[in-house]
Structure 1
Amino acid sequence: MIVGHIGARKGSKGVPGKNFRNLHGKPMIDWSLDQLLRNSRIDVVIVSTDDEEIYHHACTKDTLDIGMRPPDLCTDTASKWTVWQHSLAVTEAQIGPVSVFVDLDCTSPLRWDSDVNAALDQFAVERPDMLMSCCAARKNPYFNLVEPDETGALHVSKPLANHVVARQQAPEVYEHAASTYVLDPAYLKSAFSLFEGRVLPFLMPSERCVDIDSELDFKIVEFLMKDQICD
């Protein structure tokens, strides 16, 4: 049983109401929610939210009703991990054991349907505890990320003995892209945070990994999505 999950908290300091804000003709959440609903490999789709409008909207679609999110998971300090754990527990209480838990972040609506399938394929082959969407990092802590010391002088964040002088010489690093996650439910139940187990990268193009956390991000996504729609 593969469960697809969307988490959509009501509050947002950077972009108020962003999860239900109109984006090219439909609520932003639907760009991710509809991906799960039309994917034939996803057996059940659930939405975790403290927003009554989003909750009732989800109930009008082909989703399993898991109720409203409890108050302790509605603050901006509540972790994604504990929300996932709650959603899994409530879902399994209704439908029985879940074999794969898929989460799509609704603030990253640029992913393609093929990205979801590629993540499921990679998870089936490599069987990690979790796949986490990543993209190539624009800056590298071994080369061009710097930090001040106690005197204020700048140094490379992670210096190496061989003195990296070109980006190509630096170890490969990724950006954690809040887009697509695939988890083993047993790991989700037993761990306390993301990186306790064998967590592997699911690589996506950076242009499909824009996470909306500001009004500028929203405008960038609107622009990029318009380009995709026109194509």
Structure 2
Amino acid sequence: MILGHIGARKGSKGVIRKNFRDLCGKPLIDWSLDQLLEHPMVDGVVVSTDDEEIYDHAVAKGALDIGLRPAHLATDEAPKWGVWQHALDAGEAALGQPVSAFLDLDCTSPLRAPEDITGALRLFADERPDMVMSVCEARKNPYFNLVEPDETGALHVSKPLPGGVWARQAAPTVYEHAASTYVVDPNYLRRAETIYEGRVIPFEMLPERCIDIDSPLDFKMVEFLMNDHLNNNQGQ
């Protein structure tokens, strides 16, 4: 049994109340929430939030009734891991049975495709890691074109290799952590304190599906790409 989860805190400094802001005709959260509610592999969905309007909206759409997020998990400093642990326990209580996978979608990353969710779930089922984490190819590479100053202020490659790396293609593979899609073993989620304690493996997504909304500019970029996607689908 797979439990889907979305975290949607009320507060947001970069884009005010972004999780419920309209994006191409519906609230931002719905682009991810609808994916969970409609996915055939997901058995139940919970939304963890301290926002009553978002909560009532999610439950009305079909999310499980788990109550509002506790106040200590609704601060700027509250770790995602603790939010996940609470949502897992509350979700299993609402379902009345344990789950075999905890699937989190970040609602500020709405450009993922349904096949990304399926791919992440299948990778988890095949490999049985502690966690599958969405990534995309990094635009900059610390072995090649990321630099940092030494104590004199002179620049050097961040992670130098013997002989140097003089072509991007020759550099070791480096990923960006894409805050989009996660699949977690419930036992690992309960026993660990942070993400990287266990075996965390990558699920690679297309970079254009991994844009995370942290600023007004991000929102405009996502809105442009979403409109482009919708218009292309209408033309098919």
Same topology, TM > 0.5: yes
Gaps of 5+ in 1: none
SS at the partner of 2:102? strand
Letter in 1 for 2:47: V
Q: Tell me the residue number matched to 1:73.
A: 73
- The residue that corresponds to 2:48 in the other structure is 48
| TM-superposed deviation, 1:115 | 0.8
Give the AA of the match of 1:13: K
Counterpart residue number, 2:23: 23
Helix, strand or coil: the match of 2:139? coil
Shift of 1:93: 2.6
Q: Which runs of 4+ in 1 moved over 4 A?
A: none
For this pair of structures, how many residues does the alignment match?
231
Cα deviation 1:40-75 (Å, max 9, x = unaligned): 110000000011110111121111011101111111
Instruction: State the alpha-carbon separation in 1 of the partners of residues 93 and 17 from structure 2.
Output: 30
Aligned partner of 1:33 in structure 2 is 33
Q: 1:123-162 residue pairs with structure 2 within 5 A?
A: 123-162=124-163
Q: State the 1:92 CA deviation.
A: 2.0
Higher alpha-carbon deviation: 184-193 or 161-170: 161-170
Provide Cα deviations, 1:148-171, integer angstroms capped at 9, x if missing partner.
Answer: 112221111111112111111110
Whether 1:109 aligns to 2:114 is no
Mapped to 2, the partners of 1:153 and 1:14 lie a distance apart of: 34
- Name the counterpart of 1:166: 167
Does residue 228 of structure 1 match 2:229?
A: yes
Q: 2-side partners of 1:150 and 1:65: how far apart?
A: 55
Q: What is the CA RMSD across the aligned residues, in angstroms?
A: 0.8
1:8-57 deviation line (CA, Å, top 9, x unaligned): 01111111110000000000000000000001110000000011110111
TM-score under structure 2 normalisation? Answer: 0.96
For 1:217, the equivalent position in structure 2 comes to: 218
Q: Any unmatched runs of 5+ in structure 2?
A: none
Shift of 1:114: 1.0
1:82-101 equivalences under 5 Å are 82-94=82-94, 95-101=96-102
Distance 1:64 1:57 in 2: 11
Q: Which residue of 2 aligns with 1:200?
A: 201
The secondary structure found in structure 2 opposite 1:128 is coil
Q: Percent identity?
A: 69
